[in-house]
């Protein structure tokens, strides 16, 4: 999945009921001390009793949750039916039945309690002492029959009678639900799904029928799978009608049946109906207004991470791979698409029935289908039919995507040395879609902005579209062919797809300047990962909120960054070789973190262990700060956790750092790079005596920050002032980034930052300039929000002094270089934002020309945002831009207009746009996070933005699930500029009042930490700013 700076589809967990533990604690079993809170339980930390020791595919299900309440007397009626004849056979059946039940599917959740048997022995012995031998024999027989779970082995009593003391959640119908974990048991695995769907785009409902063929991994008498928000009309298991039990809070259903043996095959058929989802996930309805003003509807899917279960009952975890045969019944005015090519269409009850080929083996989150009226173009690429689909009004915007996808598909076929395995690849622009895109195998879905390119769109637009296609195509191998076992290793999908997206574009489309973008991404990832609220790349994940929260900067951006680091550390070609080895070894299967490193290790000729090195980067959070202290020819190196510390947190993390460096005698060519592996807290490095300066972390390819000490910084700044080209532009940008980060950490005074920036009068490259501007603007925005007018004015003057000439020299004509577009749009937005007449007058001129031309004059697209942002500050401008927004057929243009509208400083317009974003009428709900973040950047809007978030929290979390990227983005953008105690208190009070409606989110911790850090920075630096600005 891909965000492209905006949030992704949501899952509605607002109705989630409390965990069973809460139910239990509040009712029957309060006295039990052994009950474990599942929410705190983790797969890695818990003592688990693996269901099947031979099972290496699935992680052992965790939890020591005490399981009670299912004694023979509690057995449900279906089971009693099945068992009734056997029951006639007498007690021995009962005994065996509960014994096996305990030994099989529930083993993981039963409390081991040897005392229950052993405590019986003395009483038996007492009887022996007091009564006849016959009574003894009778007693032993009684023991054998009535205390199942205890067997007479050398180990003595191994197992307690689980049926006497088991706690289960309560199913919807009031019966005990026979499973007590969010994760499914691995006793039954799906092999194939036959799926028939019939959506009704008038009533916005659908009917479905699924037949699942499964095999048993062990003896069992219960089947647990996922199902959500549907009405089951009929279920048959092994051709016998059954009544599934449902536990809604965990979206699970259960079928109980007479014991089946390991290795047996069984089938479950479920007929059901549901509403098409209105929250962008599951099988959901999307709509748009066409050029005639008519509302058009369509139905599409978005399953990742947890929503396939809303479209059909299934084993909705990535490790439960299976094949799928999909049939879709539709009205003649629509077409239908699914992952695989269509076999044929037949007529049935006045409708058309499309049948698709049986799929490759895949995870449920990759299944997809669409019913819509779409136009397409196609092309054969190395035996694969590649097509791009869009709504008919936009059919002239699909060619660029088709051509780019063709190039990328050929590149990946070659790079991975495995051909894309399907005969077709569809890419579909969905009019109303929250994610950037989704990599469904063979049927990739996109936002219109990330797939459609009009004739006039800019290189920046094409960079975005190409990036997203490159990301999603990489997933067809990384994610689809080889999939992470569980969401804790989501980075294996997302970090890799992100890295491949930059690598492939750099090779195939050098004109798109993707390097600068990737460098920027790495800087942003460092900033996020410097907080104590960050998490390891491979983190513990259990609850749906935790799964949602994995779709964040760490999985995507840090994941991509550490892959770059490992690639640039390995010898040429080894990375690709290792990846091919990994894909071949695991294709069709699931993997963990370690599997990738082992594959890379196995092909590498380096003396270091890739797995050992990379585990220090994936299993612990954060990254290192390397401090360099040079004394003559000796360089003392030390490492510590770069942790922006707002609360005296300590960390002993140590990384294996492939430290790279260049010096003044050879500093720009790749051949100049030298490598030193820093594995310990400190080390010494010898260098030639005459070296004037050292620059570490060549081109910022490593994920760490370097402090050169007073003398080291001085030497570097001096060298840059003499000749900026003494270092590559990536290295210059990294120096700027690192010194700002060190200032935040309190390691260097702000004065030193200013020294660094003084070299910039000679700087013309995008990366170092934008890096400096990003940090300076962040400080300015914080000062603005503290209403420290003196410092605000000084800071503005400082920015203009340093960058004013550069701002004024920017052209307002069409520009073909992406790097130049990126730089000029940032410079001009800042310039106009600081109300410089030079800028605002030119922007208004461009706006007036656009108005007068009646749509024939096109503002260069990278300048649209600045032009419209100036224009909307007048009433006439606001009205015109709003009107144009409603009519535009180009989604990328619409988004720029929307950002301009949201930058209004007029209070009534601010209120209007926030409400419109929430209501979804004039502005689609998918844009709400963008609206809030843009409003909050402005001085007039930021308090309204925060109040709006607080007042509408309930509605926001109904549309976007707690923990989702949308909610993460809303919280961060609404609060990241706070820097006073009062603001902190207010935020803390608000979130603690939410309790289970969001107080536990990692993003909330991040927001609190960020405000504290802002306060600290202000405390430390306000005086310096007053003195030096
Ligand atoms: Zn992705």
> Cα of 973 to ligand 1 centre, how many Å?
23
Look at residue 44 in the predicted model and tell me its pLDDT: 35
Mean pLDDT of 268-277: 97
pLDDT at residue 430 is higher than 90: yes
Average pLDDT over residues 887-891: 89
Does residue 57 register a pLDDT over 70? no
pLDDT score at 164 = 39
Contacts of 214 (CB under 8 A, 6+ apart): 188, 189, 190, 191, 223, 265, 266, 267, 268
Model confidence at 93: pLDDT above 80: no
**Structure tokens, 590:** 């699931």
Ligand 1 centroid – CA 551 distance (Å): 9
DSSP 115-129: HHHHTHHHHHHHHHH
Q: What is the pLDDT of residue 140?
A: 53
Whole-number pLDDT of residue 788: 85
For 600-654, write each residue's pLDDT tens digit: 999 999 888 899 999 999 999 999 999 999 998 999 999 999 999 767 778 889 9
Comparing 120-124, 167-171, 984-988, the range with the smallest average pLDDT is 120-124
CA 290 – ligand 1 centroid, Å: 30
pLDDT tens, residue by residue, 104-155: 333 333 333 333 333 334 444 545 455 555 555 555 555 444 443 333 333 3
| 3 state DSSP class of 42 | coil
**Cα dihedral value 53, 58, 63, 64, nearest 10:** -10
pLDDT beyond 90 at 984: yes
Assess whether 763 carries a catalytic annotation. Answer: no
**CA distance linking residue 417 with residue 426, whole number of Å:** 22
- Identified catalytic residue from 448, 472, 549, 784: 472
Residue list, CB under 5 A from ion ligand 1: 1-2, 494, 497
Average pLDDT for the chain:
85
Tell me the CA–centroid distance for residue 352 and ligand 1, in Å: 34
192 contacts 325 by C-beta, under 8 angstroms: yes
The whole-number pLDDT of residue 119 equals 36
Query: Binding site, residues?
Result: 471, 475, 494
Q: How deeply is 232 buried, as exposed, middle or buried, from its count of CB atoms within 10 A (0-12, 13-18, 19+)? A: middle
Element (H, E) at 773: helix 766-785
Expressed in angstroms and rounded, the spacing between residue 952 Cα and the centre of ligand 1 is 30
pLDDT at 89: 31
Percentage of the chain modeled with pLDDT above 90: 70
Q: Which two tokens stand for residue 74?
A: 């509690």
What is the C-alpha separation between 750 and 229, in angstroms, rounded?
A: 55
**58-62, 206-210, 326-330, 724-728: range with lowest mean pLDDT:** 58-62
pLDDT at position 943 is 84
Cβ neighbour number for residue 36 with a 10 Å cutoff: 17
In this model, does residue 88 exceed pLDDT 50?
no
* Distance from the alpha carbon of residue 24 to the mean position of ligand 1, in angstroms: 39
Structure confidence at residue 1019 (pLDDT) = 86
Over residues 955-972, the mean pLDDT reads: 87
CA distances for 144 relative to 121, 124, 151, 153, 481, angstroms: 12, 12, 8, 13, 51
CA angle 415, 368, 414 (to 5 degrees): 10
- Euclidean distance between CA atoms 551 and 487, whole angstroms: 9
CA distance 833 to 810: 15
Question: In Å, what is the CA distance from 626 to each residue of 312, 749, 753?
Answer: 51, 18, 18
Query: pLDDT category, 1022, cuts 50, 70, 90?
Result: confident
* First and final C-alpha spacing in the chain: 44
Task: Please state, in angstroms and rounded to a whole number, the distance separating the CA atoms of residues 826 and 789.
Answer: 24
Q: Which residue has the higher pLDDT, 821 or 69?
A: 821
Question: HEC string of 268-323?
Answer: EEEEEEEECECCCCEEEEEEEECCCCCEEEEEEEECCCCCHHHCCCECCCCCCCEE
Ligand 1 centroid–CA 741 distance in Å is: 28
Q: Choose between 64 and 887: higher pLDDT.
A: 887
Determine contact, residues 571/465, Cβ cutoff 8 Å: no
Segment (H or E) for 1023: helix 1002-1028
Q: Tell me, what DSSP letter sits at residue 164?
A: G
Residue with tokens 């999909």: 326
DSSP string for 143-206? HHHH-TT---BTTB-----GGGS-B-PBPTTSSBPS---SSPPSSEEEEEEEEEEEEETTTTEE
Which has the higher per-residue pLDDT, 165 or 822?
A: 822
486-519 pLDDT per residue, tens: 999 999 999 999 999 999 999 999 999 999 999 9
pLDDT in tens, 38-55: 333 333 333 333 333 333
Strands annotated E in 412-453: 424-430, 437-438, 443-447
pLDDT tens digits, residue range 665-693?
A: 999 999 999 999 999 999 999 999 899 99
* Cα distance between residue 585 and residue 562, in whole Å: 22
Distance 985 CA to ligand 1 centre (A): 36
Q: How far is the CA of 429 from the centre of ligand 1 (A)?
A: 16
The structure tokens listed for 722 are: 């003499």
Q: For residue 947, give the H/E element and its range.
A: helix 942-951
Contact (CB, 8 A) for 677 and 702: no
At 371-429, the pLDDT tens digits run: 999 999 999 999 999 999 999 999 999 999 999 999 999 999 999 999 999 999 999 99
Please say if the pLDDT value at position 27 is more than 50: no
Checking if the pLDDT of 75 tops 90, the result is no
19 pLDDT above the threshold of 70: no
Residue 651: CB atoms within 10 Å: 14
**299 C-alpha to center of ligand 1: Å?**
22
Percent with pLDDT over 70 in the chain: 84
Would you say residue 242 has pLDDT above 50? yes
Provide mean pLDDT across the span 780-798.
90
Question: Does residue 736 contact residue 700 with C-beta atoms inside 8 Å?
Answer: no
Beta bridge partners of 345: 354
Known binding-site positions for Zn(2+): 471, 475, 494
Rounding to the nearest 10 degrees, give the CA dihedral for residues 928, 931, 937, 943.
-70
**Does the bond joining 676 to the residue before it have cis omega, within 30 degrees of 0?**
no
**Which residue is it, tokens 């978030």?**
949
């Amino acid at each position: 999945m891909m965000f492209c700076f905006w949030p992704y589809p949501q899952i509605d967990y607002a109705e989630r009921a409390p965990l069973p533990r809460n139910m239990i604690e509040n009712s029957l079993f309060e006295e039990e001390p052994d009950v474990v809170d599942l929410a705190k339980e983790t797969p890695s930390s818990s003592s688990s009793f693996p269901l099947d020791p031979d099972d290496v595919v699935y992680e052992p299900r965790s939890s020591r949750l005490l399981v009670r309440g299912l004694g023979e007397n509690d057995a449900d009626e279906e089971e009693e039916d099945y068992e009734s004849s056997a029951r006639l056979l007498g007690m021995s059946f009962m005994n065996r039945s509960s014994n096996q039940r305990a030994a099989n599917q529930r083993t993981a959740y039963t409390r081991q309690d040897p005392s229950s048997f052993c405590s019986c022995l003395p009483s038996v012995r007492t009887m022996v002492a007091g009564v006849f031998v016959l009574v003894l024999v009778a007693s032993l027989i009684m023991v054998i029959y009535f205390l199942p779970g205890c067997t007479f082995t050398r180990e003595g009593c191994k197992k307690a009678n689980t049926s006497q003391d088991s706690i289960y959640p309560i199913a919807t119908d009031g019966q005990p639900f026979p499973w007590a974990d969010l994760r499914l048991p691995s006793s039954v695995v799906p092999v194939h799904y036959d799926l028939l769907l019939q959506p009704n785009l008038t009533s916005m409902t659908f009917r479905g029928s699924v037949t699942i063929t499964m095999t048993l991994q062990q003896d069992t008498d219960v089947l647990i799978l996922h199902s959500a928000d549907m009405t089951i009309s009929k279920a048959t298991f092994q051709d016998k009608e059954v009544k599934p039990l449902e536990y809604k809070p965990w979206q699970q259903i259960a079928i109980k049946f007479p014991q089946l043996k390991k290795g047996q095959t069984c089938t479950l058929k479920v007929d059901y109906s549901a509403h098409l989802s209105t929250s962008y996930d599951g099988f959901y309805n999307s709509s748009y207004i066409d050029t005639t003003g008519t509302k058009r509807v369509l139905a599409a899917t978005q399953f990742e991470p947890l929503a396939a279960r809303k479209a059909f009952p299934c084993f909705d975890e990535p490790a439960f791979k299976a094949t799928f045969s999909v049939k879709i019944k539709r009205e003649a005015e629509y077409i239908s698409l699914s992952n695989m090519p269509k076999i044929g269409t037949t007529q049935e009850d006045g409708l058309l029935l499309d049948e698709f080929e049986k799929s490759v083996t895949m995870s449920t989150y990759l299944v997809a289908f669409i019913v819509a009226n779409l136009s397409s173009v196609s092309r054969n690429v190395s035996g694969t039919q590649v097509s791009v689909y869009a709504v008919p009004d936009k059919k002239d915007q699909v060619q660029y995507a088709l051509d780019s996808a063709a190039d990328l598909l050929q590149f990946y076929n070659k790079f991975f040395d495995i051909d894309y395995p399907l005969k077709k690849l569809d890419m579909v622009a969905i009019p109303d879609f929250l994610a950037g895109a989704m990599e469904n195998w063979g049927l990739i879905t996109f936002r219109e902005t990330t797939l459609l390119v009009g004739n006039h769109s800019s290189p920046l637009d094409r960079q975005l579209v190409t990036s997203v296609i490159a990301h999603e195509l990489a997933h067809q191998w990384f994610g689809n062919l080889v999939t992470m076992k569980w969401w804790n290793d989501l980075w294996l999908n997302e970090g890799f797809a992100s890295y491949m997206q930059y690598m492939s574009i750099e090779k195939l489309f050098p004109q798109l300047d993707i390097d600068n973008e990737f460098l920027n991404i790495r800087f942003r990832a460092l900033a996020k990962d410097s907080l104590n609220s960050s998490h390891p790349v491979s983190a513990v994940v259990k609850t749906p909120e935790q799964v949602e929260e994995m779709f964040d900067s760490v999985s995507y951006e840090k994941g991509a960054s550490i892959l770059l680091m490992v690639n640039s550390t390995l010898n040429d070609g080894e990375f690709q070789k290792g990846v091919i080895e990994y894909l071949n070894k695991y294709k069709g299967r699931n993997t963990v973190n370690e599997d990738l490193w082992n594959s890379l290790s196995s092909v590498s000729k380096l003396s270091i262990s890739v797995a050992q090195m990379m585990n220090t980067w994936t299993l612990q959070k954060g990254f290192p700060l390397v401090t360099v202290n040079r004394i003559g020819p000796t360089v003392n190196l030390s490492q510590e956790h770069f942790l922006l510390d707002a609360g005296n947190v300590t960390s002993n993390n140590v990384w294996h750092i492939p430290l790279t460096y260049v010096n003044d005698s050879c500093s720009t060519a790749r051949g100049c790079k030298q490598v030193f592996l820093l594995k310990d807290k400190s080390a010494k490095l010898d260098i030639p005596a005459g070296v004037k300066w050292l620059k570490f972390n060549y081109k910022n390819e490593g994920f760490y920050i370097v402090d050169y000490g007073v003398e080291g910084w001085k030497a570097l700044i001096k060298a840059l002032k003499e000749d900026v080209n003494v270092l590559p532009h990536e290295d210059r940008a990294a120096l700027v980034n690192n010194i700002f980060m060190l200032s935040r950490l309190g390691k260097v005074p702000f004065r030193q930052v200013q020294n660094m920036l003084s070299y910039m009068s000679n700087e013309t490259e995008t990366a170092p300039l934008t890096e400096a501007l990003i940090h300076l603007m962040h400080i300015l925005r914080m000062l603005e929000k503290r209403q420290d007018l003196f410092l605000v004015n000084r800071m503005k003057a400082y920015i203009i002094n340093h960058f004013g000439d550069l701002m004024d020299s920017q052209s307002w004509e069409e520009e073909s270089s992406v790097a130049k577009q990126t730089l000029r749009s940032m410079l001009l937005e800042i310039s106009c934002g600081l109300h410089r007449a030079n800028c605002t007058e030119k922007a208004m001129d461009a706006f007036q020309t656009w108005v007068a031309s009646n749509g024939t004059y096109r503002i260069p697209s990278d300048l649209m945002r600045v032009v419209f942002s100036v224009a909307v500050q007048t009433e006439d401008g606001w009205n015109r831009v709003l009107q144009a927004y409603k009519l535009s057929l180009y989604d990328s243009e619409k988004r720029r207009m929307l950002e301009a509208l949201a930058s209004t400083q007029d209070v009534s317009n601010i209120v209007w746009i926030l409400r419109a974003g929430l209501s979804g009428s004039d502005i689609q709900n998918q844009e709400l996070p963008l609206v809030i973040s843009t409003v909050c950047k402005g001085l007039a809007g930021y308090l309204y933005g925060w109040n709006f978030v607080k007042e509408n929290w309930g509605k926001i979390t109904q549309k976007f699930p707690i923990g989702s990227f949308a909610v993460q983005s809303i919280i961060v953008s609404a609060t990241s500029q706070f820097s006073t105690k009062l603001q902190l208190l207010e935020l803390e009070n608000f979130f603690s009042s939410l309790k289970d409606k969001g107080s536990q989110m990692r993003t909330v911790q991040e927001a609190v930490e960020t405000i504290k850090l802002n306060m600290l920075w202000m405390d430390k630096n306000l005086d310096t700013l007053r003195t030096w600005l």
